[in-house]
Structure 1
Amino acid sequence: MAGKQEEVKLLGTTGSPFVFRAILALKLKGIEYEFVEENLGNKSDLLIKYNPIYKKVPVLVHNEKAISESLLIVEYIDEAWKGNPLLPTEPYHKALARFWAKFIDDKVIAVIRKALFTKDEKAREEGVEESFEALQFLENELKDKFFGGEEINFVDIAAAIIAFWVPIFEEVSGVELITSVKFPKLYNWSQELINHPIVKENLPPRDPLLAFFKGLFANIPASK
């Protein structure tokens, strides 16, 4: 059984939505851990040791055993520390939660990136249309305050990028995707999530992120 005496490290970068998933899971579970800030332009020996295949963050190191990939880390945290469950216990609902988290990674994030991080007008229009379609599926799935009902669960953690990072991307690109008119349930959910005490306390500072993505957007080649 995991406990406070056990060694828990999280290798990550401040501001990464994927690293934030692991941070949020650890915080919701009340797990003490050491955060090791990584510079991905100059990867540490520790990162290469613990994630030699992908050399990416986040990496959770629990008693010298390393787990990478953000959703796998959240699942591991949920299984290793039993209090405050993040995934449903009933097999069908657990499978559904995994499905929607994967949908967010495979479908939603990809089309939002296409909509907001291109200067090609045609590609952007396609991306916006595809984003609306993908987000509508999430809007229809959202039945309560959170995807987990009254409490934050696995899908909410996966979707935190939509609540906090996407509005930053929208501001940078000048394209609005999630409005209170078009997606009222998703919009309200995003406000509930970023104002949840544990989420709010651990979100990265917004201004440096905004400046970073503005710089990134400025360097995207203009469409011909």
Structure 2
Amino acid sequence: MTTHPATILGMTITLIANLTFAVIAATEVVRFGFGAEPAPLSAFPAVMFAPIYGFLIIAVYAAGSEYPSGQHRVTLTATPLRGRLATAKWLALAAITIPAAVIVLLPARLIVGLHAGLDPAGDLFDLGRWVIAYFLMSVVAFGLAGLTRNTTTSLTVLILIPILVATGVFQWPQGIKFLPDQAAMSLLGTPAYDVTELPPAIAAIVLAGWALLAVVSYTVVLLRRDT
């Protein structure tokens, strides 16, 4: 993960996107909408949240690119203790994505916090929520990429979900609110829609549940597949 070009690419995309959106939202130089009162970018939570999909490139390529390259087969040949291998993978994911999330989020959240008049404690709390959301979504992405054995399927699914929700293809708000991305936005206190809002504490539990499911599913498959 430290040497794969996807890590630098994902961080660069996310950092630039977060900074751009933060500046636009804070300065309100651009407003959006077709009504009498166009809204600032900060009024569109799904857009402010969108840079995370650039960040998920890191986890997706870490788990999915080793299959077509043949690295996975070589690793299993050299490392028969699969339980230790699975543990190392999840620890490596945490060790890379948590600091990376801080790097790509800190400048933008400081700009937003300054605009909102948050004190240092408020800034720290806000940053912490975003880092947790980025990390748990990365765990979900890593597990999905490992299960599908490629990079395109998992990332496509994760990107399509909010698009299908926004376009109204999914007409079940009581279920939609429990999807990973919707739970993440509720955790941040900025739900995409009123009908998909969850209390932040419940949203954190839901997103952690998705992450736990990803950990268990991928670990079980890693222990039993290709034996």
| TM norm structure 1 | 0.30
Higher strand share: 1
| TM norm structure 2 | 0.29
